[in-house]
Amino acid sequence: MPLSLSNALIVMSTLVMIQDAPRRVVPGDHPETKAIYREVKEGEERVEGQLQRIVCPPGKPVTFVVKTKEKVMTYTAARLDAVDYIAHNPNFRGPVSCGGYTPSEHVYVTSKKVNGTTRPVAIEFLPR
């Protein structure tokens, strides 16, 4: 027996609601939070370190100072907004601004060589 138009709409609405139903939380269960980090693209490299300072001289490029396990590295960007910032740390409070970070922020810095200079592409603020 064919469905009437109104019955067909009810069935379709029900199917849409079932697909978009929120996931249930099981009482007493401990849900897991998992960070999804930015994919490193071709020609890029990622380092892990502590963001210590962002230096922003007027009218000049911005410099990010990051201490890795091996050494202190600097990355230069044309402007502060030329870099993508991603916060995986729920306690991180933006916006990103110039100056020192005390305590330093645990970060991934993804960079790319451009005309012989290492340019930051993204800075990801990691959970502590």
What are the residue ranges spanned by the domains of the chain?
Answer: 44-125
Residue 39 to residue 29: CA distance in whole angstroms: 30
The CATH number of the domain covering residues in 44-125: 2.40.50
Q: Report the pLDDT averaged over residues 71-84.
A: 96
Q: Determine phi and psi for 36, rounding to 5 degrees.
A: -115, 110
pTM above 0.85, yes or no: no
CA 24 to chain centre: 27
Among the listed residues 83, 116, 92, 118, the one whose alpha carbon sits nearest the alpha carbon of residue 35: 92
Q: Which residues pair with 122 in a beta bridge?
A: 84, 110
Q: What mean pLDDT value characterizes the chain?
A: 85
Rg for the chain, CA atoms, rounded: 23
Q: What does the pLDDT read at residue 14?
A: 60
Q: Could you read off the pLDDT of 45-75 as tens digits, one per residue?
A: 999 999 999 999 999 999 999 999 999 999 9
